[in-house]
Structure 1
Amino acid sequence: MSDAEEERESSQEQRENQEPTSAHSSPSVSPEPLSLQDVGVRFQYCIAAVEDLERERDDLIHELAVLREPSLEAVRQAHEEVVQAFGQRARVELERDALKEEIRVVRRRLFRVTRECVACQYQLDNQQKELEKKAAEREDLETLAARLREELNQLRETFSQQRETQQQSLQTPRSRRTSREIQERRRLSAELQSLIEEQHSSLEELYEPKLLQLLDRCERGARALQAVQEELQKLREETRPLQAEAYSLRLQKCSLQEQISLLKKKRGDEVLIYREQLQELENTKREIKICVQLQQHQNKEMEELRKSLTQELAIYNNRTNSFLQQTSK
């Protein structure tokens, strides 16, 4: 491109150097008619100027093509990079949406497991409270049973003492006993025996079903408590991998967010570079357009010069023909 500019400058200087000579010999300055040598010189100058302009035009066309090629290549490359960035962003957004869906599913599962765990914990607390209540009732019943056993033992001891006393009294001489006393003692002994048996049977009827029911409820409560504890342990074991998966998904989400931010930044930089390249191309296009307009103006001037030279050559030919005709006469 520097060689073409140097050639244009040299041709322009040559034309500027030749223009005063042609202007000095131009018929517009001098009223005398041009000689054949002056016309030939001007014609050669015009031919050289036209050749220089054509060469300059070719150089400008070549320079325009050379300038356009890297610009177009840069534009294509920037466009491809922008398309790749948009495609990569779309893929990352799809992966992000998929991860969001997975996180939503895991959260739903974790919420369900947590809800079941809380329900089991609530049932376990209720059963523990019920078990404590039943244990307190059992202690009360055992205390009552112990007190009743003590009373029964006391009654038995009293009955044994009375029976021994009666037996001793029965073994005393007959003279000291009367038939009435014997009957009274027998009656009292029978009443005491029946009373003891009634109390014993009533106590058994009253407390034995309750004790059996309480023992059964305690056993069932213990089995249910063990089952709930096993289920709670199982739910905890199921929750551990879900928590690990949720943590891993959170890490992946953070990584994808960082990638998206980097891609956005990269896309912004690429768009800025693309706009700068477009601005440079617009400036280059504007400069080339100005050069083309100048070249068109120069071509127009050369065309006008060619027309004027053609007219002058025609006038010269007419004068030469008339001069030859006059000379021949």
Structure 2
Amino acid sequence: MQARSYSIDYMRLVLAAFVVFGHSGLGQQSIGLMGIILASSVLRTAVPLFCLISGFFLLRSIERGRFTGWVTRMFTLYTVWTFIYFFLMQLWDRPLQQTLYELFMGFRHLWFLLGLGQAALMLMFFRRWGLRVLIWSALAFGLAGLLLQYLRLTGLAPIPLEVFRSGPFDLYPFVVMGYVIASVHRDPDLFCRLRPSNRVLWGMILGGLVLANLEQMFWLGLFRPDMLVEFTAGFWLICPAVFLLALDMKAPAHSLPMAMMASAIYVLHMAFLHIGTQLQLDSPLLPALAGFVVPALCVHALSVSQRGQRLMAQLF
């Protein structure tokens, strides 16, 4: 691996802000339908980009013999925080069947942790046959996920959202992208030969945005005026291009635990939004700000001592 890319750390925090902003619904009442479509196409790139980052660093974990601990941690965090939110949201009065369904299919925003663990297990299974098979498997599952989503949007099949918005069909292709980039990135000469130029990467971002927005408008106008597309084919162009540009971008060095901050923000922000809803606040602005700032400050406070660092590693 080459030297640390601080720009990826900064990108993590930006993506965490995207997640908080998207879940809060800030500005939806004032930007109009086209604004919502464009914002959705931008903000929804946060999850696949997080997957790219995870896949990129997963190669290092595998080579150091830490994969089992990594994937176990994902499932443990998912289970622990699911039960925390279960009691925070006082969900014990609802049917047990619904609770078990959410637990195994993905609870609220925490589905990402479950899906990331599933995607990592799939990567470990397919990588034994080499990068070519790994890439083809990612393409196959990604296309299958798009097809399942389209079947739901057309009404041809009542496929639950949790089926295609999941580790195998949504996250796995992007985890593989990150892993493949890491595999090539370790050889500077090979990486320089295979990496598209910045002009091409910016073209991929622009083309991906156009494709994503056209796809949203197509489905909204033709079939489902009440539901935005969860993930689009345009993300397959946007996300690897953004990641490659960020990977080579020069950014100021720092000593902050930004990766852990982003993780804490992702896990905790929905608690602040939920509390804001319970308090019936006029605007989600304050809960959204608290959902970003408070977890980041908590992680920073914990990072100054060894005991705090151990607690931080267990929680986030």
Q: Quick check: TM above 0.5?
A: no
Q: TM-score w.r.t. structure 2 length? A: 0.23
* Larger RCO (CA under 8 A, 6+ residues apart): 1
Q: Which has the higher helix share?
A: 1
Q: TM-score w.r.t. structure 1 length? A: 0.22
Larger Rg over CA atoms: 1
